[in-house]
A and B are shown apart, each in its own frame.
Chain A
Amino acid sequence: MDLFEYQGKQYFARFGIAVSPGDIADTVDEAVAVAERVGYPVVVKAQVKVGGRGKAGGVKLAANVDEVRLHAGNILGLDIKGHVVRRLWIERSSDIAKEYYASFTLDRLNKVHLGMLSAQGGVEIEVVAEENPGAIAFLSIDPVRGLDLETARRWVNEAELDEVAREQAAELLLCLYDCYTKGDCDLAEINPLILTPDHKVHALDAKVTLDENASFRHPEWEEFRADEFEDPREKMAKERGLNYIGLDGTVGIIANGAGLAMSTLDVVNQVGGTAANFLDIGGGANADVMAAALEVINSDPKVKAIFVNIFGGITRVDEVAQGVLEALGRVSISSPIVLRLDGTNAIEGRAILAPHLSDSLITEPTMLEAARRAVTLANA
């Protein structure tokens, strides 16, 4: 789960990382109220889960109430790379002497934690890595041993942060590492991490991705979920316990297994179609799950055909076929459905469906043929 900046800052604060005083605002009046409370000048920041907000006009400095009204009014409703701004973060503006970069993430190849620290912050770290890789100090951290202050001190020296910032930065990095590990983040990134003219180090932005697998030990994440989905289809799917990702195409996809679902998207694309979604119903391809899946896909107005791609292993295809029929008895579907049923008990499964086949319920023997049929129907 990606957090909005304001959520990331709230999360940082729990782990003792210094952030600017501020609050959220969903209207111009709320923005003014926050600004009056934290004191001018303030920064008005669009809350969207996409980079490049500044360039898109989503981050503005406001010196007084009129400027807050002007900028908040302009930014609310602004479309930034397809993300419409519905919420602002208003915080006390900071004077900046230096901008640094700090992050922790998993080094998947070496299976250790990777810290990245740079005295050149405020720009995208990928750009720094490309243009001036020597400016990033990488630190591999054994997850068993963790990070200690001694190592963090060596690290800030190596990254050549300004002398006055080093001790504070080292301590902040320990807090950030705690946030990343104990806080179960996939990514905890501060860019920029700033040094103020009066020699204070603090986080001016927050990019946090939480590991959903750790939800069971973080009841406090619940507050982040209200605003988790910008796509109504994804919200609907989540409520039904489905593993769904919304896309832009016209062929609705249902498959069992993440790999097969991904593969189904690819095959639809190879035969000239576009997928409307990723949806893995896992091993539980029963009537309830199938009905829920069909409902979510049916709610998508772009969908013109549905491709159900099932490979039976432990899951038996005859049970899946039964589930499909039951589901169709419960929900009314507006697009034709093409099924590919293969694997354990596929023959029995196809036989169950045989009497019910029509122009809107079709079976094909292979994944490729089924994809072609679904795409033809979607493009017709």
Chain B
Amino acid sequence: MSIFVDENTKVIVQGLTGGQGRFHGLRNRDYGTKVVGGVTPGKGGTDVDGIPVFNTVKEAVAATGATASFVSVPPKFAAAAILEAAEGGITFIVCITEGIPAQDEAVIYNRLVEDFPGVRLLGPNCPGIISPGKCNIGITSGDIALAGGPVGIVSRSGTLTYQALYELSQQGIGQTTCVGIGGDPVPGTNFIDCLAAFEADPETKAVMMIGEIGGSEEERAAEWIKANMTKPVVSYIAGVTAPPGRKMGHAGAIISGSKGTAQAKMDALAKAGVHVCLNPTEAGQKMGEIVKAL
């Protein structure tokens, strides 16, 4: 089984007529994802390579029955696009947009929690979600993923996610779902959301968790793992040598004072019984050993 999405998930792309939206939206469709529509205000009635475009999310949902949306719009429009998706009846929103102001993210996160409790936001600033062979929403290259499980992946980093997928696929180890939660300070979906979903999914037998400096979601996830997780977890945390006070590429990857260090996260995870590895390759190998012993 997959988490959050499956082979029946119908997806619309907000920003389908833009460069990025078109490129990735069509790639997602080519992968086999049910991309049933696009939304661009003022371009309703047109199409992108046969995919119908609507003026609003509401119209798109009414016409297609879509439940998921792929938001690929510039930062200054992203918060409004996410809200429009929720108001239009979408229940799973994937926002890949990088560069959304933190103040906007804080407002939109809480708006969703308060007014749309049934809606899940993935991202912003994330690579999206792929359930190999079933559904790919976002910018992950489908070629490097392998269907069939048994590993679930959750990650704050795009490239490290691709690397994890690739290293597992190279060993012949498939993935149930790979979720990129993104590198911004206010992620809509966090580690625990994904760990809980993987724990509940019978086909996922082990989980790879890739974190990085900044915030304390990894520490909170460690507590959750200790209390609830029965499946093995392999973890890698990037940024051991990152200097404090600097944003390391991702808006959320910053050590503030003494808070958010990689070491603190690794210690917390190790204490919770997680296999903590020192680099991505080691994490791939460790997962290989675990899967072979299943």
List residues of A whose CB falls within 8 A of some B CB: 2, 106, 108-109, 111-113, 126, 142-144, 181, 184, 186, 211-214, 216-217, 243, 245, 247, 255-263, 265-270, 275, 278, 280, 311-314, 342-344, 366-368
User: Which residues of chain B (43-101) have a CB below 8 Å from chain A?
Assistant: 75-76, 99-101
Asked if A213 meets B101 with Cβ closer than 8 Å, knowing A261-B249, A266-B238, A314-B139, the reply is: yes
Residue in B107, B185, B217, B236 whose beta carbon sits within 8 Å of that of A143 in the complex: B107
B242 / chain A contacts, CB cutoff of 8 Å: 262, 265, 278
Residue in B106, B160, B216 whose beta carbon sits within 8 Å of that of A112 in the complex: B106
Residue in B99, B217, B240, B253 whose beta carbon sits within 8 Å of that of A258 in the complex: B253
Residue in A143, A259, A265 whose beta carbon sits within 8 Å of that of B241 in the complex: A265
Whether the pair B253, A343 counts as a contact (CB closer than 8 A) is no
List the 3 shortest-distance A-B pairs measured between CB atoms, nearest first: A259-B157, A258-B249, A257-B159
* Residue B257 CB within 8 A of the other chain: yes
Whether the pair B111, A260 counts as a contact (CB closer than 8 A) is no
Q: How far is the CA of A344 from the CA of B102 in the complex (A)?
A: 33
Residue of A nearest to B114 (CB): A144
Q: How far is the CA of A270 from the CA of B277 in the complex (A)?
A: 12
A216 / chain B contacts, CB cutoff of 8 Å: 75-76
A-B interface contact total, Cβ < 8 Å: 169
Q: How far is the CA of A108 from the CA of B155 in the complex (A)?
A: 17
* Residue B291 CB within 8 A of the other chain: no
Q: How far is the CA of A262 from the CA of B241 in the complex (A)?
A: 8
Residue of B nearest to A183 (CB): B103
B232-257 CB contact bits vs A (8 Å, 1 = yes)? Answer: 00001011111101111111110001
- By size class, the interface of chain B is 35 or more
Q: How far is the CA of A257 from the CA of B162 in the complex (A)?
A: 10
Q: How far is the CA of A258 from the CA of B249 in the complex (A)?
A: 5
Whether the pair B106, A262 counts as a contact (CB closer than 8 A) is no
Whether the pair B217, A109 counts as a contact (CB closer than 8 A) is yes
Q: How far is the CA of A112 from the CA of B216 in the complex (A)?
A: 14
B156 / chain A contacts, CB cutoff of 8 Å: 259
Closest CB-CB distance, B213 to chain A, in whole Å? 7
Which of the segments B3-11, B140-148, B196-204 contacts the partner chain? B140-148
Q: How far is the CA of A257 from the CA of B159 in the complex (A)?
A: 5
Whether the pair B253, A262 counts as a contact (CB closer than 8 A) is yes
Which of the segments B33-41, B267-275, B278-286 contacts the partner chain? B278-286
Whether the pair B243, A142 counts as a contact (CB closer than 8 A) is no
Residue of B nearest to A275 (CB): B241
Whether the pair B162, A143 counts as a contact (CB closer than 8 A) is no
B159 / chain A contacts, CB cutoff of 8 Å: 255-260, 311, 313
Q: Can you name 18 extra interface pairs (CB under 8 A) apart from A262-B213, A266-B239? A: A106-B102, A111-B109, A184-B103, A211-B103, A212-B247, A213-B75, A213-B251, A247-B243, A258-B248, A259-B156, A259-B160, A259-B183, A259-B210, A265-B242, A268-B241, A270-B278, A343-B144, A367-B280
List residues of B whose CB falls within 8 A of some A CB: 27, 75-76, 99-103, 106-107, 109-111, 114, 127, 139-141, 143-144, 155-163, 166, 183, 185-186, 210, 212-217, 220, 236, 238-243, 245-253, 257-258, 262, 278-281
Whether the pair A258, B281 counts as a contact (CB closer than 8 A) is no
Whether the pair A313, B141 counts as a contact (CB closer than 8 A) is yes
Q: How far is the CA of A212 from the CA of B278 in the complex (A)?
A: 31
Whether the pair A368, B141 counts as a contact (CB closer than 8 A) is no
B281 / chain A contacts, CB cutoff of 8 Å: 366-368
Residue in A143, A260, A266, A268 whose beta carbon sits within 8 Å of that of B110 in the complex: A143
Whether the pair B216, A109 counts as a contact (CB closer than 8 A) is yes
Whether the pair A313, B102 counts as a contact (CB closer than 8 A) is no
Whether the pair A262, B75 counts as a contact (CB closer than 8 A) is no
A268 / chain B contacts, CB cutoff of 8 Å: 241
Whether the pair B216, A266 counts as a contact (CB closer than 8 A) is no
Residue contacts A-B, CB under 8 angstroms, 12 given: A144-B111, A184-B101, A211-B251, A259-B157, A259-B183, A259-B249, A266-B238, A266-B241, A313-B127, A313-B140, A343-B141, A368-B281
A263 / chain B contacts, CB cutoff of 8 Å: 160, 236, 238, 279-280
Closest CB-CB distance, A325 to chain B, in whole Å? 22
B144 / chain A contacts, CB cutoff of 8 Å: 313, 343-344
Q: How far is the CA of A109 from the CA of B141 in the complex (A)?
A: 31
Q: How far is the CA of A259 from the CA of B183 in the complex (A)?
A: 9
Residue in B143, B212, B251 whose beta carbon sits within 8 Å of that of A262 in the complex: B212
Asked if A266 meets B101 with Cβ closer than 8 Å, knowing A259-B156, A260-B160, A278-B249, the reply is: no
Asked if A113 meets B106 with Cβ closer than 8 Å, knowing A314-B139, A344-B143, the reply is: yes
B240 / chain A contacts, CB cutoff of 8 Å: 266, 269
Whether the pair A111, B186 counts as a contact (CB closer than 8 A) is yes
Closest CB-CB distance, B125 to chain A, in whole Å? 9
Whether the pair B248, A261 counts as a contact (CB closer than 8 A) is yes
Residue of A nearest to B279 (CB): A267
A143 / chain B contacts, CB cutoff of 8 Å: 103, 106-107, 109-110
Asked if A186 meets B106 with Cβ closer than 8 Å, knowing A108-B216, A313-B162, A314-B141, the reply is: no
Whether the pair B166, A181 counts as a contact (CB closer than 8 A) is no
Closest CB-CB distance, A251 to chain B, in whole Å? 11
Residue of A nearest to B282 (CB): A368
Whether the pair B249, A262 counts as a contact (CB closer than 8 A) is yes
* Interface hub of B110, B161, B241, B280 (most chain A Cβ within 10 A): B241
Whether the pair A262, B248 counts as a contact (CB closer than 8 A) is yes
A367 / chain B contacts, CB cutoff of 8 Å: 279-281
Residue in A106, A181, A245, A270 whose beta carbon sits within 8 Å of that of B185 in the complex: A106
B241 / chain A contacts, CB cutoff of 8 Å: 265-266, 268-269, 275
Q: How far is the CA of A186 from the CA of B242 in the complex (A)?
A: 19
Closest CB-CB distance, A354 to chain B, in whole Å? 22
B114 / chain A contacts, CB cutoff of 8 Å: 144
B185 / chain A contacts, CB cutoff of 8 Å: 106, 108
Q: How far is the CA of A109 from the CA of B139 in the complex (A)?
A: 27
